[in-house]
């Protein structure tokens, strides 16, 4: 697709132009797309202005000094409540009337899908169109009551006298009064008449009608500030705030239309997350429930610290709870619950499994208890004996500051030295060069692993204790019952453990500022204690990093919209010019977006930047890993994720992935697999991540971006021998920055063209002989494994006698019946007819005699079928008395449908073995009934590999037999009856797969036989009627084909021992089949060392072999620009949920090699994205 593909197709453009005015006005539908009666528009205008009219009544009464302001508000609110209730009841009545009177609706397929037929001004169709009504009765009452309250308080909020007192300007009063009432009318209409579709869409469905409450909620927030100002006298800050908010109040419709203000669910989740992280020192959580519970507990901890009477108690309380709350409490609770259940009911606990879990045991418990004990001792002792001195260059707190500065520098160096690029710009000279194999990489990285261990110790143990020392020595803790102290120090005492690296940076910045600024009269020292300083520095640090990331994202979009030719649209030059001219406004947008911690939204991923609404850091409302577009390729990610998680925990603990915070995104690449990793929560010695797997069937867009990812990783990891020291990163500015490589146990995928192997006449000529050998081995192994269920030869003899008696009894029964069951068409009858045969002969031809003399393997005698119209004669083997129906059947049997062979009960003569143990290796009776001619049996006897057969028998040990003779194997080899059974079994399978001719099979037939898609034949029909035998034959053929490929590639098999070893390797270490088989997926999950599949490309006419090899290989990992991902996901949410632009060829899903636009869309949560795998929350221990 070209760069000028439409952003919205014609239908979606029309739809958007109808929806957006409705969103701006709060619900009225003035642009319908078809001709509607005028009263539709008039009714909507009247309903839109109704709150203003009702509020105007109260306002007029107040201005005329007839009523007090609060009575005015009550009157307007009461009138609005009654009006709203009447409107809702009207809708209920209209719905009931429609149900009562059923009208025949004639649908015109040529009209728009949303066209209505209106009969009158107040008709039921008109009412239902203008007032859709509520889904729940409780919302009907609640929303009506809320509408009344909103109108009453809005009247009070916009009283002209009140506005004049704020601004002392008549013109300003008129402007605020008029446009303020427009804002209230918009909120009222959205609440009670028709809820508008919001551009700020967080949930795909509004199940509980929460969207209707969004606009009234923000109006109530502004009114609440005004009420606070009314009742809080002489508060300058409130007055200034109220004045500013009255002006912003007029722009609420603009903020709603642009989607800057979040929906209520996103607002509360974002608010709790921000307060938990920056106000209480916690971490964002992976689920809404965990977030709510952790927020309540953390807030309760901060409040409780306010009421503790002693400073020592406050420090111990903050230190202890800060450490405990930073642990992975959900996993500790799960481990405790699992332990309790296992003690109560051990059988139930075995079935409890939930993903990759931390094994929390006594070792971890003792470690945490020891760390907590030392932290409490340190904090209490330092505060008790050295916590009263003021800060100076030689004070104990200053000494702790010096130590922290040194620790920060050391840890920063140790972290950067483990990454392939320093700051993402220059190549790290200490990083191993040309890393392509695991052994070479691990050998070269041994020194960096030691660096990682040192950094882990400094991060986990040394730094927290050093920071606790600094905090315990602070004089601010002497101020008891101070809200600022409780909030600030509760936060930092927890952050020391929850987010050690950022806490260390914040404390170092504050301590340096404290060293440089000793003036006690300065605002920084006079008004703020250390806890609040740390809180402000933490917020400033986070917002500054967000600003830089957003600015990089914006510049990347601006530059690539011109430098990437495929992204260059006709409007690109104009958009770039506008961005350059209004660059200060762009910077303002980026700053506001960073301040709100909301994504920077590039509209359609063009350089048109908007401020997205604030939302939780994980961007999506649903539970983690709850949905994925599962397909056959999902198993490859399921297999590799546990090993990848183990590798990730080592890399995260060592710091080789950089500063990983909640909201960090990583991209892993190996061959055709792409893994998207999102960090969801982080605490002391643990990290919670979600791993997604992207599709393997690459589209053109997917392939273009994946190719660029490969280029970036190859330049970083595989071409280092040609680069200079500190050479620049040639892909600087790309949203992907390579970090390191991880050794992961997974499947490598090799695909080879089999031309010259499968079409080689020499290879195909030996295929049948090899198949016979493999099948003999397969049958012997099958019978041998089955014999292990028999405990002793006595049981075998007993079973033989029992089966012999059963056979005799069933044979007697069969002989007493007419032979109708045998009168089905078979190959034997075709073979028995010759040109010299007389149709009236009573005896069969010579071929029939040879078949009858086949010995012990002879099957049930067949009866000649008479030609229709001939005289029926009796033969010796046929009963003398026969019913007319039987005679008719015998006469015209060739013209009747084939008899269902599953209903036949064939009589087999008992096989007499010369060795009593041969029964253990005997082929099941139903496998001996193949309709093969005697001549083919004799031919198979000559082709049968007797030496190979004897060698296989010699390899059997029969250890499961308690008593066995020493010459057991020799007796088995000499048993001709047992050999004849295998001859007939092999022949049956060959007959089913290849037919009776001895021609060399064609490559197409080999492929069809491998896939089990052989054309129908009599032999195949018989073979498929024995499912177990058919599966053995198919498995043997696949082994034979793999053997042919190995012989052609690696050389011939030298002897029988080597061949047996090869087959045993296939059996134990290989799965040889088809990619589409269910067993293939099971083999991947079971981690079979090797898998082989045969494929065919009909377009190129070639056959391909695919080999998966399980081994430890290097997976390349890079860090993504977090804000680039959030921005593209915000645009995806707006484009699909609001603009409903689900076109598969839309512009915003086309390949963008720098932004990785297509891959980013894939990685979004369903239904907007389509990853084929998404893990549950994985808890990675980092100690």
Q: How many CB atoms lie within 10 A of CB 484?
A: 15
Taking residues 547-566, what's their average pLDDT?
94
Give the pLDDT score at 387. 62
Taking residues 802-815, what's their average pLDDT?
37
The whole model's pTM is what? Answer: 0.85
Give the pLDDT score at 50. 95
Q: Tens of pLDDT along 653-689?
A: 999 999 999 999 999 999 889 999 999 999 999 999 9
State the Cα–Cα distance between residues 389 and 411, nearest whole angstrom.
29
Query: Please, is 1099 exposed, middle or buried when counting C-beta atoms within 10 Å of its C-beta (0-12, 13-18, 19+)?
Result: exposed
Taking residues 1098-1123, what's their average pLDDT?
93
Give the pLDDT score at 798. 42
Q: Tens of pLDDT along 428-485?
A: 888 887 676 777 777 777 888 889 999 999 999 999 999 999 999 888 887 777 888 8
Taking residues 711-734, what's their average pLDDT?
79
Give me 958's structure tokens.
């029969």
State the Cα–Cα distance between residues 219 and 949, nearest whole angstrom.
90
Give the pLDDT score at 971. 83
| CA Rg value for the chain | 41
Structure-model confidence comparison of residues 356 and 817, the more confident one: 356
Residue 527 has pLDDT above 80, yes or no: no
Taking residues 1091-1105, what's their average pLDDT?
91
Taking residues 824-853, what's their average pLDDT?
39
Give the pLDDT score at 442. 79
Structure-model confidence comparison of residues 987 and 855, the more confident one: 987
Q: Hunting for tokens 């800057």 — which residue is that? A: 260
Residue 817 has pLDDT above 50, yes or no: no
Between 292-296, 722-726, 1001-1005, 1063-1067, the lowest mean confidence (pLDDT) is in 722-726
State the Cα–Cα distance between residues 1108 and 747, nearest whole angstrom.
6
Q: Tens of pLDDT along 349-364?
A: 444 444 444 467 788 8
Q: Are 1127 and 601 in contact (CB under 8 A)?
A: yes
Give me 167's structure tokens.
């601004």
Q: Tens of pLDDT along 480-491?
A: 778 888 999 999
Structure-model confidence comparison of residues 144 and 526, the more confident one: 144
Give the pLDDT score at 805. 33
Contacts of residue 30, Cβ cutoff 8 Å, sequence gap at least 6:
21, 22, 41, 44
State the Cα–Cα distance between residues 664 and 678, nearest whole angstrom.
6
Is residue 427 very low, low, confident or very high in pLDDT (cuts 50, 70, 90)? confident
CA distances (Å), 775 to each of 487, 952, 995, 1032, 1070, in order?
77, 12, 16, 8, 17
Q: Tens of pLDDT along 16-28?
A: 999 999 999 999 9
Is residue 864 very low, low, confident or very high in pLDDT (cuts 50, 70, 90)? very low
Q: Tens of pLDDT along 876-919?
A: 333 444 444 444 444 444 444 444 444 444 556 677 778 888 88
State the Cα–Cα distance between residues 491 and 496, nearest whole angstrom.
9
Taking residues 954-968, what's their average pLDDT?
79
Ranges of H-type helices in 738-792: 761-765, 767-787
Residue 852 has pLDDT above 90, yes or no: no
pLDDT averaged over every residue in the chain: 84
Give the pLDDT score at 907. 55
Give the pLDDT score at 969. 84
Give the pLDDT score at 1171. 95
Residue 1068 has pLDDT above 70, yes or no: yes
Please give the angle made by the CA atoms of 204, 208 and 209, to the nearest 5 degrees. Answer: 80
Structure-model confidence comparison of residues 466 and 803, the more confident one: 466
Is residue 1091 very low, low, confident or very high in pLDDT (cuts 50, 70, 90)? very high
Reference 993, options 974, 1018, 956, 969; nearest CA is: 1018
Is residue 727 very low, low, confident or very high in pLDDT (cuts 50, 70, 90)? confident
Q: Hunting for tokens 């539908």 — which residue is that? A: 29
Query: Please, is 762 exposed, middle or buried when counting C-beta atoms within 10 Å of its C-beta (0-12, 13-18, 19+)?
Result: exposed
Give the pLDDT score at 410. 95
Half-sphere exposure of 785 (CA within 13 A, CB side): 5
Between 294-308, 782-796, 892-906, 915-929, the lowest mean confidence (pLDDT) is in 892-906
Q: Tens of pLDDT along 589-640?
A: 999 999 999 999 999 999 999 999 999 999 999 899 888 999 989 999 999 9
Taking residues 66-84, what's their average pLDDT?
93
Taking residues 264-278, what's their average pLDDT?
96
Give me 814's structure tokens.
């069969």
Q: Are 962 and 792 in contact (CB under 8 A)?
A: yes
Give the pLDDT score at 812. 34
Q: Are 607 and 562 in contact (CB under 8 A)?
A: no
Taking residues 933-955, what's their average pLDDT?
87
Q: Are 772 and 669 in contact (CB under 8 A)?
A: no
Reference 1141, options 3, 2, 14; nearest CA is: 14
Taking residues 728-754, what's their average pLDDT?
91
Between 186-195, 736-745, 913-922, 946-955, the lowest mean confidence (pLDDT) is in 913-922
CA distances (Å), 732 to each of 382, 417, 708, 1112, in order?
47, 18, 13, 30
Q: Are 379 and 316 in contact (CB under 8 A)?
A: yes
CA distances (Å), 562 to each of 369, 705, 784, in order?
58, 18, 72
Residue 385 has pLDDT above 60, yes or no: yes
Between 190-199, 303-312, 445-454, 828-837, the lowest mean confidence (pLDDT) is in 828-837
């Amino acid at each position: 697709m070209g760069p000028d593909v439409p952003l919205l197709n014609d239908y979606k453009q029309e739809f958007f132009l109808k929806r957006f005015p409705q969103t701006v006005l709060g619900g009225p539908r003035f642009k319908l797309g078809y001709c509607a009666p005028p009263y539709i528009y008039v009714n909507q205008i009247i309903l839109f202005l109704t709150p203003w009219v009702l509020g105007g009544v109260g306002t007029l009464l107040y201005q005329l000094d007839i009523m007090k302001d609060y009575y005015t508000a009550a009157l307007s609110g009461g009138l609005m409540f009654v009006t709203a209730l009447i409107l809702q009841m009207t809708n209920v009545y209209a719905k009931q009337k429609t149900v009562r009177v059923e009208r025949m609706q004639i649908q015109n397929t040529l009209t728009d899908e949303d066209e209505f037929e209106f009969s009158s001004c107040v008709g039921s169709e008109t009412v239902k169109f203008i007032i859709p009504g509520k889904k729940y009765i409780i919302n009907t009452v609640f929303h009506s009551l809320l509408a009344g309250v909103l109108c009453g308080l809005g009247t009070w909020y916009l009283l002209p006298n009140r506005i004049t007192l704020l601004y002392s300007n008549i013109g300003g009063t008129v402007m605020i009064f008029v446009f303020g009432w427009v804002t209230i009318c918009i909120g009222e209409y959205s609440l009670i008449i028709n809820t508008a579709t919001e551009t700020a869409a967080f949930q795909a469905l509004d199940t509980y009608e929460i969207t209707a409450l969004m606009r009234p909620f923000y109006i109530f927030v502004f009114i609440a500030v005004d009420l606070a100002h009314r009742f809080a006298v002489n508060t300058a800050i409130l007055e200034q705030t109220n004045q500013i908010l009255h002006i912003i109040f007029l722009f609420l419709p603009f903020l709603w239309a642009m989607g800057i203000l979040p929906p209520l669910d996103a607002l509360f989740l974002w608010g709790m997350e921000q307060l938990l992280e920056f106000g209480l020192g916690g971490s964002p959580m992976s689920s809404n429930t965990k977030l709510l519970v952790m927020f309540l507990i953390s807030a309760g901890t901060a409040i409780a610290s306010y009421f503790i009477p002693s400073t020592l108690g406050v420090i111990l309380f903050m230190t202890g709870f800060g450490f405990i709350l930073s642990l992975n409490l959900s996993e500790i609770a799960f481990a405790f619950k699992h332990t309790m259940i296992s003690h109560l009911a051990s059988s139930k606990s075995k079935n409890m499994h939930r993903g990759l879990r931390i094994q929390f045991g006594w070792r971890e418990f003792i470690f945490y208890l020891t760390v907590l004990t030392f932290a409490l001792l340190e904090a209490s002792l330092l505060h008790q004996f050295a916590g009263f001195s003021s800060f100076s260059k030689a004070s104990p707190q200053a000494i702790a500051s010096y130590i922290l500065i040194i620790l920060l520098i050391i840890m920063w160096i140790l972290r950067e030295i483990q990454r392939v690029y320093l700051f993402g710009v220059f190549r790290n000279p200490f990083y191993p060069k040309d890393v392509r194999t695991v052994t070479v990489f691990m050998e070269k990285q041994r020194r960096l692993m030691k660096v990682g261990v040192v950094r882990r110790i400094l991060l986990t143990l040394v730094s927290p204790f050093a920071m606790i020392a600094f905090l315990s020595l602070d004089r601010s803790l002497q101020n008891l019952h101070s809200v600022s102290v409780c909030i600030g120090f509760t936060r930092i005492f927890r952050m020391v453990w929850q987010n050690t690296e950022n806490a260390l940076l914040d404390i170092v910045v504050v301590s340096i500022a404290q060293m440089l600024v000793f003036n006690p009269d300065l605002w920084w020292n006079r008004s703020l204690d250390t806890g609040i300083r740390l809180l402000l520095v933490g917020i400033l640090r986070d917002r500054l990093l967000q600003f830089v990331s957003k600015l990089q994202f914006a510049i990347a979009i601006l530059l690539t919209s011109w430098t990437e030719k495929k992204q260059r649209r006709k409007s690109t030059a104009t958009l770039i010019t506008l961005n350059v001219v209004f660059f200060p406004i762009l910077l303002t947008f980026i700053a506001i977006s960073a301040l709100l911690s909301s994504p920077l939204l590039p509209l359609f991923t063009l350089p048109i930047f908007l401020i997205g609404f604030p939302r939780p850091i994980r961007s999506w409302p649903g539970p983690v890993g709850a949905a994925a577009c599962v397909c056959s390729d999902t198993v490859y990610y399921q297999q590799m994720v546990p090993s990848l998680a183990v590798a990730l925990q080592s890399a995260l603990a060592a710091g080789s992935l950089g500063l990983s915070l909640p909201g960090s995104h990583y991209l892993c690449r190996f061959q055709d697999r792409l893994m998207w990793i999102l960090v969801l929560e982080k605490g002391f010695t643990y990290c919670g991540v979600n791993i997604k797997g992207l599709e393997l069937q690459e589209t053109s867009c997917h392939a273009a971006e994946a190719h660029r990812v490969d280029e970036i990783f190859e330049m970083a990891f595989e071409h280092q021998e040609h680069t200079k020291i500190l050479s620049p990163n040639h892909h600087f500015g790309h949203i992907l920055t390579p970090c390191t490589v991880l050794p992961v146990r997974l499947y490598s995928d090799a695909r080879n063209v089999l031309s010259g192997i499968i079409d080689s006449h020499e290879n195909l000529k030996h295929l049948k002989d090899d198949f016979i050998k493999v099948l003999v081995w397969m049958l012997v192994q099958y019978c041998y494994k089955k014999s292990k269920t028999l405990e002793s030869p006595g049981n075998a003899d007993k079973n033989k006698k029992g089966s012999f008696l059963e056979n005799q009894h069933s044979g007697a029964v069969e002989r007493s019946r007419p032979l109708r069951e045998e009168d089905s068409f078979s190959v034997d009858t075709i073979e028995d007819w010759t040109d010299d045969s007389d149709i009236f002969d009573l005896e069969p031809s010579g071929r029939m005699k040879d078949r009858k003399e086949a010995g012990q393997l002879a099957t049930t005698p067949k009866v000649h079928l008479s030609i229709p119209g001939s005289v029926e004669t009796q033969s010796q083997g046929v009963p003398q008395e026969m019913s007319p129906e039987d005679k008719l059947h015998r006469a015209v049997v060739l013209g009747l449908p084939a008899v269902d062979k599953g209903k036949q009960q064939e009589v087999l003569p008992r096989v007499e073995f010369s060795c009593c143990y041969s029964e253990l290796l005997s082929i099941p009776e139903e496998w001996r009934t193949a309709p093969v001619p005697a001549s083919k049996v004799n031919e198979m006897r000559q082709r049968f590999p007797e030496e190979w057969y004897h060698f296989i028998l010699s390899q059997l040990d029969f250890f499961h037999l308690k008593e066995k003779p020493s010459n057991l194997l020799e007796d088995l080899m000499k048993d001709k009856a047992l050999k004849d059974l295998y001859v007939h079994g092999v022949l049956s399978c060959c007959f089913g797969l290849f037919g009776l001719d001895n021609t060399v099979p064609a490559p197409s037939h080999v492929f069809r036989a491998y896939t089990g898609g052989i054309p129908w034949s009599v032999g195949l029909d018989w073979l498929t009627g024995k499912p177990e035998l058919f599966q053995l034959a198919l498995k043997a053929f696949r082994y034979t084909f793999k053997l042919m490929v190995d012989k052609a590639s690696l050389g011939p098999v030298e002897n029988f021992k080597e061949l047996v070893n090869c087959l045993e390797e296939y059996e134990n270490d290989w799965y040889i089949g088809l990619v589409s088989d269910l067993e293939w997926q099971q083999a991947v999950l079971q981690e079979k060392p090797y898998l082989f599949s045969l494929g065919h490309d009909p377009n190129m006419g070639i056959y391909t072999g695919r080999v998966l090899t399980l081994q430890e290989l290097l997976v390349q990992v890079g860090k993504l620009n977090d804000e680039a991902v959030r921005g593209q996901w915000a645009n995806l949410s707006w484009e699909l949920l609001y603009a409903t632009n689900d076109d598969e060829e839309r512009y915003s899903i086309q390949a963008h090699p720098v932004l990785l636009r297509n891959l980013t869309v894939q990685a979004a949560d369903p239904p907007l994205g389509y990853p084929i795998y998404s893990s549950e929350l994985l808890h990675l221990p980092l100690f």
